Amino acid sequence: MPGADPGRRPCGPVVVTGLGAVSPLGWGVGSLWDGVRSGKTAIGPFDRFDHSGHRTHVAAQVDLAAEPGRRRGKSLRLSLADRFAVAAAREAVALAKIDMRSCGERAGVYFGTSTGGMLETEVYLESLLAAMAGRGHPPSTSLLASQQNNGPGDAVARDLGIGGPVQTVSAACASGAMAIGDAVRAIRRGEVDVAIAGGSDSLCRVTYAGFNALRSVDEQPCRPFRGDRAGLSLGEGAAVLLLEPLERAQARGAMPLALAAGEAATCDAHHMTAPHPEGTGAAEAIRGALADARLDPFDIDFVNAHGTGTPLNDAAECQALVAVFGDRAPDLPVTSTKSLVGHLLGSAGALEAAVTILCMIHGEVHPMPDVGPAHPGIRLRLVLGRPLPLARARHALSTSLAFGGANAALVFTRHGDQGPAH
């Protein structure tokens, strides 16, 4: 690899051998797949915090009562986002059948988050302000222990006894996808042999109020790419991919779930909260990921789009897909996982990557709810209402487009279909 650090050991293809997820559809990838396949949205009334003063009252929240093996005492200094992350990472490691502690400094964590422990920070500050006003006692600082954005990734690293690099990306809604891209590159460069890559975020008042202030939240569950779409719906959760070189996975008898074939990131450099209307930055990210995977647009079998449901995002993303896929765009199956679990912000890219892989494993593209009218300007083959059988899907694209114009694209390939280039 040109310019690679001396002494590093470049590797061949990078594969996914473990998946883990916590989502509004349940704890675990089984619940996630069953849920997305059903096409029934988890977006609805929620009670994570008081939202009575808001214009909107829907979100997709994780059922905390279903948290497996929760030990309350141990969770005190972990934020909710940390707990999601740890649960997802444990599941991915278990599926990959790998002893992380034996990997020492050769294992790394690459995580994305947008708000980390903001939910707990809000509780702390509310209590502190109340105490200053003579109502109650000052809160315990333990609420703030995991306030910062490095919280989820660090919590995973501590839980798994990681000795290698730990890095948190906070690039808003592209964080999770960028973290996976970073992990893929770190393995290719030979910096680590195993990477835990993903993202985690919890619902919090800052993002709920903030997106409401921007008038970007739909009063109804979001309807990506539909004619009456009126905004996004927020969600929460985590997803983790366990990545390693194909050669290493085969040597230890692990089953590759998919190849992490390509990644790329760009920036619109256009506006803080609106995408470039022509989707130029997003299109460049997609082209970059395809080039990284040594694929042509023709090779992609389906797209798990960023698809937030905001009028601006979906229009720009449609433009980007048309720019890259040209005449083929109207025939290319497109779905949006956000229609079912909401927008997981910093973990959206990770969760959607996991869902994309699940679609390839099961040979079906999950549907979006068949609600709302078509939009005449959105000429994409949306997967609506029922799963689309796609048993021969070889390559899939997942996109993430963020606040501040950050774009990331990931390409996954079904194991065994990587072709001679790999």
Partner 1 sequence: MITGLGTIGPCGHGREALAAALAAGKPVASEVNRGAGLHLAHGARLAALVGERDVSRWVPAADARRMSFPSKLVVAAARMALAEAGIGLSDAGGPRTGVYLSTAFGSGLSTEKLLRQILLEGAEAAQPFYFSECVANAPAAQLAIAVGARGPNVTLTQRESGPLLAVARGAQAVREGRVDRALAGAFEELTPLLHALLDRFGALARAEGALAEMPRPFDRRRDGFLAGEGATLVVLEPEDMARARGARLLARVGWSGAAFDATASVSDWGDGRTPLAATLRAGLDEVPGGTAGVSAIVSGASGTRRGDRLEARVLRDAWGEVPLPPVLVPKAVVGEYGGGILAPGVLALEGATFGPTLGFEEPDPEVGVAPHGGGALETPSRVLLTGLASGGAAGWLVLERAS
| Total Cβ atoms within 10 A of residue 72 | 6
Q: How near is the Cβ of 397 to partner 1 at its closest, in Å?
A: 18
Nearer to partner 1 by C-beta: 31 or 167?
167
Q: Are 126 and 143 in contact (CB under 8 A)?
A: no
Catalytic site includes residue 306: yes
Structure token digits, residue 317: 């993303």
Structure token digits, residue 242: 């366990």
Residue 85: helix, strand or coil by DSSP?
Answer: helix
d(CA 383, CA 387): 7
Looking at the chain, how many residues does it have? 422
Catalytic site includes residue 54: no
Catalytic site includes residue 359: no
Q: Is 338 exposed, middle or buried (0-12, 13-18, 19+ CB in 10 A)?
A: buried
Nearer to partner 1 by C-beta: 113 or 413?
113
Q: Are 75 and 83 in contact (CB under 8 A)?
A: yes
Cα pseudo-dihedral 296, 394, 100, 75, rounded to 10: 100
Q: Is 112 exposed, middle or buried (0-12, 13-18, 19+ CB in 10 A)?
A: buried
Nearer to partner 1 by C-beta: 155 or 344?
155
| Total Cβ atoms within 10 A of residue 188 | 19
Nearer to partner 1 by C-beta: 173 or 390?
173
Nearer to partner 1 by C-beta: 174 or 368?
174
The label of the residue with tokens 């929620």 reads 46
Nearer to partner 1 by C-beta: 145 or 361?
145
Catalytic option among 51, 276, 343, 415? 343
Q: Are 232 and 377 in contact (CB under 8 A)?
A: no
φ/ψ (deg, to 5) at 373 = -80, 160
Nearer to partner 1 by C-beta: 144 or 323?
144
E strand intervals along 129-226: 166-169, 194-201
Q: How near is the Cβ of 261 to partner 1 at its closest, in Å?
A: 17
φ/ψ (deg, to 5) at 380 = -125, 155
Q: How near is the Cβ of 8 to partner 1 at its closest, in Å?
A: 9
The label of the residue with tokens 């849920």 reads 35
Q: Are 317 and 399 in contact (CB under 8 A)?
A: yes
Q: How near is the Cβ of 80 to partner 1 at its closest, in Å?
A: 14
Q: Are strands 237-245 and 194-201 parallel, antiparallel or unpaired?
A: antiparallel
Q: DSSP readout, 204-257?
A: -HHHHHHHHHTT-B-SSS--TTBTT---B-BB-EEEEEEEEEHHHHHHTT----
φ/ψ (deg, to 5) at 13 = -60, 150
Catalytic option among 103, 222, 276, 306? 306
Angle at alpha carbon of residue 116, lines to 202 and 185, rounded to 5°:
110
Nearer to partner 1 by C-beta: 308 or 335?
308
Structure token digits, residue 303: 């797209």
Q: Which residues are catalytic?
A: 173, 306, 343
